Amino acid sequence: MFDKKIRPRRLRISENIRSLVRENILTEKNLIYPIFVVPGENIREEISDMPGQFHLSVDRAVEVAKKISALGIPAVEIFGLPEYKDEIGSAAWDMSSPVQRAISAIKKSVPELAIVGDVCLCQYTSHGHCGKLCGNYVDNDETLKLLQKVAVSQAESGADIVAPSDMMDGRVSAIRDALDEKNFFNVSIMSYTVKYASAFYGPFRSAADSAPQFGDRKQYQMDFANSREAMKEVELDIEEGADIIMIKPALAYLDIVSKVREKINLPVATYNVSGEYSMVKAAAAKGWIDEKRIVLESLTSMKRAGADIIITYHAPEVAEWLK
* Antiparallel, parallel or unpaired: β 44-46 and 54-56: antiparallel
* Antiparallel, parallel or unpaired: β 244-248 and 309-312: unpaired
Nearest partner of 164 among 198, 139, 189, judged by Cα: 189
CA–CA separation, 232 and 100 (whole Å): 33
Which residues are marked as active site? 195, 248
CA–CA separation, 49 and 137 (whole Å): 29
Q: Which residues contact 296 (CB under 8 A, 6 or more apart)?
A: 26, 318, 321
Largest CA distance in the chain: 72
DSSP characters over 116-185:
EEEE-STTTBTT--SS-EETTEE-HHHHHHHHHHHHHHHHHHT-SEEEE-S--TTHHHHHHHHHHHTT-T
CA–CA separation, 57 and 39 (whole Å): 6
- Measure CA 157 to chain center: 19
Sign of the CA dihedral 80, 84, 85, 86?
Answer: negative
